[in-house]
Structure 1
C-alpha cells in the first residue's frame, strides 16, 4: 500500500529529475560562473504572481553567479516563480525568475540585460571575464 510519505518521495524524485534536465551542462552555458558567498534576499511582491496574500521574502547565500543567473541556498522553502526581486549589497536589486529548485537550493535567471550585469561582475570579481569556467 502506497502512503503519503511514499508519494511525496516519488514527487520529489520527479522534481529533481526534471530540474536536472532543465539546467543543462556547463558546456551549454553562455556565461562564465563565479563562486561567491554573498548574502541576499529574494522577494515576491504582491501583485507579481505571488502565491500568498502579502509580499514574501526569503534570505539566503548566493553560491555562484553569472551574467544571466545565480544559484542560491535559501533559508526555507520558496515556491514563487516569476517577477522576483533579488537583492544583494554587492549587486543592488535585480529582477529575476526562478528556473529550478532542489530543496533549499534554487536557480534564478536574471531579467536584466546580461551585458550590464557582466560589467558589474567584472568590477566586483578580479579576473572575471566571459570565458567558461
Structure 2
C-alpha cells in the first residue's frame, strides 16, 4: 500500500533526523564523507503526493558526500522530505530522502545501494572511490 510505505519512510526520516540532532557524529557514520563542491538539483519524484506544489525543486551546492548521503547548501526553500531525486553536476541521479534541515543546509540519505552510488559518483570525481575503502 503506497500510503503505508510513505508513512514508514516519513517515520524513518524523522528518526534519522532526531538521531542526527542528538549525538550523531562523524564517528557514527558507516561511510566516510568526502568534501567537495558539486552543483546539485533536488526535486520531488513525479507522481508522488506533494503538500507544496510550488516548492518541488531547488538548486544548491553539495558540500560533502558519501556512499550513503550528502550535505547540501540549497538556494531556496524546499519542503519535500521523501521520494526525492538528486541530480549532481547534470551527470548522476540518485533517489533519496531528506533526513535533516538547518536553515539552508539539508542532509539527504540515498535510497540506493552504496556500491551503485560510488560507481555513479566516479563520473564526477575519479578519486571518489576512496570514500568506500
Same fold, TM exceeding 0.5? yes
What's the CA shift string for 1:47-87, capped at 9, x where partnerless? 32322246711000010000010000001121110000000
- Separation in structure 2 between the aligned mates of residue 73 and residue 107 of structure 1, nearest angstrom: 9
- Contact kept, 8 Å, 1:49 with 1:82, in 2: the verdict is no
Q: CA deviation at 1:112?
A: 0.8
Question: Paired residue for 2:58?
Answer: 58
Q: Is the 8 A contact 2:92 2:120 kept in 1?
A: no
User: If each structure's helix is expressed as a fraction of its own residues, which one has the higher value?
Assistant: 2
Per-residue CA shift, 1:3-53, capped at 9, x if unaligned? Answer: xxxxxxxxxxxxxx95522x7111110001000100110001353232224
Structure 2 residues without counterparts, runs of 5 or longer = 1-16
Q: Name which one, 1 or 2, has greater alpha-carbon Rg.
A: 1
Aligned position for 2:21: 20
Partner residue of 2:14?
Answer: none
Count residues in correspondence. Answer: 114
Question: TM-score by structure 1 length?
Answer: 0.74
Is there any run of 5+ residues in structure 1 with no aligned partner, and where? 1-16
